[in-house]
Amino acid sequence: MSVSRRSFLGAAGAAVAGGALLPKDVMAAPYILRRSLARPCTVGSENGLRGMQRAVESMIKGTDTLDAGVEAVKLVELDPNDQSVGYGGLPNAEGVVQLDASCMHGPSKRAGAVGALEGIKTPSEIVRLIMKYTNHIMLVGKDAQRFAVSYGYQVEDLLTPASREAWLHWRANLSPNDNYVDEPASERMVKYTTGTCPMMLVNTAGDISSLVSTSGLSWKIPGRVGDSGIVGAGQYTDNDVGAAGSTGLGEANIMAAGGFLTVESMRRGMHPKDAALATLKRVMTMIPARWIGANGRPTFQLQYYAVNKAGEYGAAAMTASPFAVCDEKGPRKEDCAVLFS
């Protein structure tokens, strides 16, 4: 049936005025008929998998996205068997565990971070305190520890027997010409590790947060801070767009501001997976020649994890690597998209 534009608009206006198109309880604000902006989802590294279901269930019940993320990441920080995060993390070159972490809270547009924090098992809680109760974003070293103690946290030895043994083994084999007796190579020998626990979260309202915690590069020069402690690199959130975070060689990620860049790619309409791949390509243009092997590929691993405001997620890595995700389908591992197959 042919209907003129004027006739259609006039009929529609009359119907709305008479309540024919909308329920009576939403006549004053028809925009609330919009569906939920997102499906609840959390995405990150595989060591965060066990906490993800708890985080999603908590968000569904109304828990803030960042609070849900902190509780999930704490499970990894407190696990002495995870040598990449918190208690039991591998130490620096002098045998001291130094932790980096940061967070962003989308709804409040606030952030918190620590670098080279010693003696505190759960830096995820400390960065949230910095975010909530100070005008600062980042505290480092002994002063970050002093801040944590002022909120009732106890300074503890974070070096477990297993991590100490790995450090002693590394130190003994550091040079064939030093005064340490070389230990036989074994499966326990750890050359270095770059493990981290990043987590990006979105709830049904489309509110977003991101969080990352790490003990950083093992055997690092004391005082080194990697990407996890730097907002915009190790993680980044824009509540209008999405969130992204990373694991792998922090120095390479810092040079590309990878967390920020991935979110900006999603702002331009990219799917989270494609945005993560685009950031990896940018990293390859930023790294020095000494980090590229004879085959033209990087000699390090780097992964990005991303989620957008709608709850769509994705991850990408330099080479094959799994990642963890939890949404309405439950917690599971999936394969990252890869830049180099």
pLDDT score at 317: 98
* pTM of the shown model: 0.86
- pLDDT tens digits, one per residue of 299-314: 999 999 999 999 999 9
pLDDT score at 180: 72
All residue ranges of the chain with pLDDT < 70 are 1-37, 183-194
HEC letters along the chain: CCCCHHHHHHHHHHHHHCCCCCCHHHCCCHHHHCCCCCCCEEEECHHHHHHHHHHHHHHHCCCCHHHHHHHHHHHHHCCCCCCCCCCCCCCCCCCCCCEEEEEEECCCCEEEEEEEECCCCCHHHHHHHHHHHCCCCEEEHHHHHHHHHHCCCCCCCCCCHHHHHHHHHHHHCCCCCCCCCCCCCCCCCCCCCCCCEEEEEECCCCCEEEEEEECCCCCCCCCCCCHHHCECCCEEEECCCEEEEEEECHHHHHHHCHHHHHHHHHHCCCCHHHHHHHHHHHHHHHCCHHHECCCCCECCCEEEEEEECCCCEEEEECCCCEEEEEECCEEEEEECEECCC
pLDDT score at 256: 97
Domain boundaries, the chain: 32-338
The catalytic residue among 196, 214, 237, 279 is 196
pLDDT score at 12: 44
Catalytic residue list contains 279: no
pLDDT score at 22: 38
pLDDT score at 14: 45
Given 3.40.190.10, 3.40.50.2000, 3.60.20.30, 3.30.420.10, which CATH number is that of 32-338? Answer: 3.60.20.30
